[in-house]
Each structure stands twice: as structure tokens, then as C-alpha cells.
Amino acid sequence: MNIFKMTNTSVRWAFNFTKWNPSHSDMLLASSCVQTEEKDRLSRFYFRKDFKSSLIGRLMMRKFVCQASGKKYDEIKFLRDDKGKPMLFESNTYPNLDFNISHQGDYVVLAGECSNVKLGVDVMKLEYSGGKSLDEFFRLMTKNFSPEEWVMIKSSGTEKQQIAMFCRHWCLKESYVKAIGVGITINLQDIRFKVNTSVLDKNFIVDDTELYIKGMKVNWKFQEMLLDDQHCVAVALNDTSNMNLVFREIDFSELMEGCVPFLPRDEQYCLNYFRKCERP
């Protein structure tokens, strides 16, 4: 097997897709830089916001793999595993490469490594917009958190602070289950996080949160920070020596640097996008 030489690239990218209002030419370019099956999947989204976030995620993956592997942009091919997680078609050729994306709220995020670590990433908007009271919502979510986690969540202070701590714990759990490749299909009460630094910041990484599985401490590292006042992000890594890296916001211009379109530019496809509603 021919193993390609990888760079020592580690990236943490964030893209605020609510700031991106693509022109017709932007959409022509972007939609010509994703695979046919991805393009078909995108077309089924009813709202522009969902279309945009998914499209940006695919483009971020392609940019990272191109940058990290040196493989030609238009020769990169992605598949999905049996859990629906995107993966590189030639993953055996790049054994040290791992990446993960997440989108929620206003952001799409990507964490990528070329150092033979397993990782997962998740982003959460720090809000609760359900119709029920917060107490009722927490009651319905009881089974997803351990008693110790509920103490941490409910003792965080104001209702806003409790929501933020709830979202932070959910973000941590999502990042871990994505890293191990099981999705939210396991007993989440068995996964307990002990938060040692109660407040996150936009300018540096918090990495002292501990993970316990069925009461036993597990040697994983979690990198947490705020993207802005309303969004938190967490990266789970199975290598505690991995360096901390702050998420950096990129825009459409940087995202498309070095891109090579490999599908014909599709005028009708773009017109169909602009006919969609922005959001519910």
C-alpha cells in the first residue's frame, strides 16, 4: 500500500454561515466543488440555512484534506460510513488523518488532525427555544445526564447560566460519541463529565474537564471554548498530549482558496437555491 506523506497540520476552523449571503457567482462556484451525490443531497433541503451549513461543511472537509495530504482538490472523494459520518474514500492511504465537522446555531466547525489521533467535534448555541418550562424540559432530559451532572447544571446560577451549562455538557457528550463513532445510541448517563473550569472564554482553550465512563476515569482530552457569546464548541481527543488550538473563523474567500471545480457550473441548480426560504 502506498502511504502518502502527511503534513503536521492541525486545524480548528469556524464558519459563521449566517454572515454569508452568497451571490449567484458564489453559489455557482461552491456547488461545482462538491460531489454529485453531495449536490443531490443538498438540493433536498427545504431552507437555505440548512443548505448553506451543509455545503460549507463539505467544502471545509475538502479544503482540510487537500491542505493536509497534498492530494489534488478535484481528486478528493468522500463516502459515509454505516453511521452516516463522512469519511475519506482512501482513508487507509491516509492512516494518520482524522477530521470531524458539526453545525448548529450560526456556525459550521471543523477539527482536523494529522497526528494519528481519534477526534470528534460539536458546536452548540447556548439557548433553549422549546415551548415547555425549563424545569419541564430538564425533567424530560433526565436520562441523558448523570446525577452529578445535573447538580452542576442546576447549580450554575440564573436560568440563562443553567441553559449554557446544559448545552456545554451536551456538546461534550456529542464530541465524545462522535469521536468513538457510535452517535447518540449509547446510555448517556454512563458518560459523565466533571467540569473543573465553570466559565468558558473566547480567547483560550479550557482543557481540564474530566471524563468518567461508568464511574471510571478515562484518559481523553477535551478542548472547549466559546466562538462568541452564544456558541460553545468542544473537541474530544484520545491523545492528552495534543496541543491546544483556538478555533479560527474563516470566510468564504479563504474557504475557496485553491479550489478546483470538478462539476459543470449549474445555473438551474443555483436558481433553485435562491427560490428557497431562508429559514422557518
d(CA 58, CA 5): 23
pLDDT of residue 91: 67
Q: Which residue in 60, 63, 56 sits closest to 20, CA to CA?
A: 56
What CATH architecture does domain 7-117+243-280 belong to? Alpha-Beta Complex (3.90)
Q: Where are the domains of the chain?
A: 7-117+243-280, 118-241
Q: Which residue in 101, 80, 87 sits closest to 11, CA to CA?
A: 101
Ranges under pLDDT 70 in the chain? 1-8, 91-92, 183-185
| Burial degree of 85 (CB within 10 A; 0-12, 13-18, 19+) | middle
pLDDT of residue 5: 47
Give this prediction's pTM.
Answer: 0.93
CATH of domain 118-241: 3.90.470.20
Q: What is the pLDDT of residues 73-116, one digit of tens each?
A: 999 999 887 777 777 887 667 778 899 999 999 999 999 998 88
Domains 7-117+243-280 and 118-241 share a fold: yes
pLDDT of residue 4: 43
Q: What is the pLDDT of residues 34-79, one digit of tens each?
A: 999 999 999 999 999 999 999 999 999 999 999 998 899 999 999 8
As a three-state string, the secondary structure of 74-112 is: HHCCEEECCCCCEEECCHHHCCCCEEEEEEECCEEEEEE
**C-alpha cell recorded at residue 42:** 443538498
d(CA 227, CA 245): 13
pLDDT of residue 267: 97
What is the Cα gyration radius of the chain? 19
pLDDT of residue 1: 34
